[in-house]
Amino acid sequence: MHPTESKLWTDGWYRFAKHVHSPNFGARPANCKAQLIVIHSISLPPHQFGSDHIERFFCNQLNHSEHPYFQGLVGVQVSAHFLIKRNSDLIQFVSCKDRAWHAGESTFQGKENCNDFSIGIELEGAEWAGTFEPGQYETLSALCSSLIGEYPVMHFAGHEHISPGRKKDPGSGFYWSYLQRSLGLSDSFFHQTRG
């Protein structure tokens, strides 16, 4: 590597993301590697985009008096590893070496507590809002490609797939086939997302 080049990853932090450190994380269990990428969607307040409410929510800095919906989030402590904004900006909140609090009660291939072995990526959007922005897919594809090169990722799923009945994101407006084609991966990586 050329002396002036930086590595893509440093201690689980991605070079091309803005780093905003969330306090909501913990250590992964011993010998537990990130094998699953979980795609989410989020908007705060629901179906409203473009503010910094999500970032402040993940950092326990949300002003709960700003909107009636926020009253229901008092005391809630969550995070994701990454957020992709509507304008394609990429923000990282938790090192991929650590356990972000994004999945909640969840199961994948018979294994519970998906936070232990997954990387959570939030897209600013909503499952009922139709589609996500083209630039968000481009940022997501580049990020996932780098994650696959850095970690033993073997599977992709939506929050709706690991927490069925409890969560609906990223929803029918997310194009799994586009992500699969852009990454050039086999169906085995995406079998959970089929029907």
Residues labelled as active-site residues? 122
Q: Helices (DSSP H) in the chain: which residue ranges?
A: 53-58, 134-150, 159-162, 176-183
On the CB side of 189, CA atoms within 13 Å amount to 19
- E strands, the chain, where? 9-10, 13-14, 18-19, 25-27, 36-42, 82-84, 90-92, 98-100, 107-108, 111-112, 118-124, 155-158
Residue 177 main-chain phi, psi, to 5 deg: -65, -35
